[in-house]
Amino acid sequence: MPQIDLNCDAGESYGDWKMGDDAAMFKLVSSVNIACGGHAGDIRTMADSIQLAVENELGIGAHPSFEDKANFGRRRHAMSPVEIERMVAYQVGGLAAIAALQGAKLDHVKAHGALSNLASVEKEVADAIARATRAISPDLILLAVAGTQLQSAGERANLKTIAEGFADRSYDATGQLTPRSQPGAVIHDATLAAQHCVDMATGRGLPRKDGGFVACEVQSICVHGDTPGAVAITTACRQALESTGFEVTSFASKLD
């Protein structure tokens, strides 16, 4: 039976402010990317998220970002590659330490928001993230947007690198994510998101906003936990993948 990973960004609450329904999402996905205090998350939220992931036997990843809770990590900041490398190491290292306190370990790293977008097109930024990841542990897997500079950086750094597609986002003709500022960038139709999952899992490629596909292999598919209707979208995605004959399972478990 063919396998595919279904992941979500999680642990994105902060203090008494709540984002998403992690309890429901963790029952639907196979891997989670937990905010490390940059765009969201705090010590309690990180610890609770790790515990929930352990209980659901999920692959656990760090989700570092620009340190910008006001804009949820979706605004670019002027930082040098060295500064980005240190920031990522600080955030990933902190989450790894909290995981260790709970007898758990991180499997992977996935950059968030504007940091991920920047690393998708700028080689120096991508290499900085890969270096920071490898410095924490060469056994960490880099989860990178498919077909980007970050995927190439992970491979150059001799990290196990997994190519990621997005069920609830649209792509332009070059395979880059449509900017969130543009109409149609975020997909709220569960049926359409589920079809995107099947298209990516079966090798058709990344679904373009204007129709057609960008040829690209995808090994993990993301649904954003902060997208309105995320639980319904993820439920439809999982059902579509399983009905197509895929086993939804963590990529980390396959690489052990």
Query: How confident is the model over 167-202, as pLDDT tens digits?
Result: 999 898 888 888 888 887 888 999 999 999 999 999
160: its two tokens: 């196990």
> C-alpha distances in angstroms, 103 versus 27, 49, 131, 210?
21, 14, 25, 47
The contacts of residue 176 (CB under 8 Å, 6+ apart) are 120, 121, 148
Low-confidence ranges of the chain (pLDDT < 50): none
219: its two tokens: 């090994």
Rounded CA-CA distance 39/36 in Å is 8
How confident is the prediction for the chain on average, in pLDDT? 94
Would you say 64 and 70 are in contact if contact means Cβ atoms under 8 Å apart?
no
DSSP-assigned beta bridge partners for residue 186: 169
199: its two tokens: 């298209």
pLDDT of the residue at 252: 87
pLDDT of the residue at 256: 59
Place of tokens 């109409």: 183
pLDDT of the residue at 49: 97
Domains of the chain in sequence order: 3-255 (3.20.20.370)
pLDDT of the residue at 210: 82
The contacts of residue 35 (CB under 8 Å, 6+ apart) are 9, 10, 11, 12, 41, 45, 46, 63, 65, 112
Give percent of the chain above pLDDT 90. 79
226: its two tokens: 């902060």
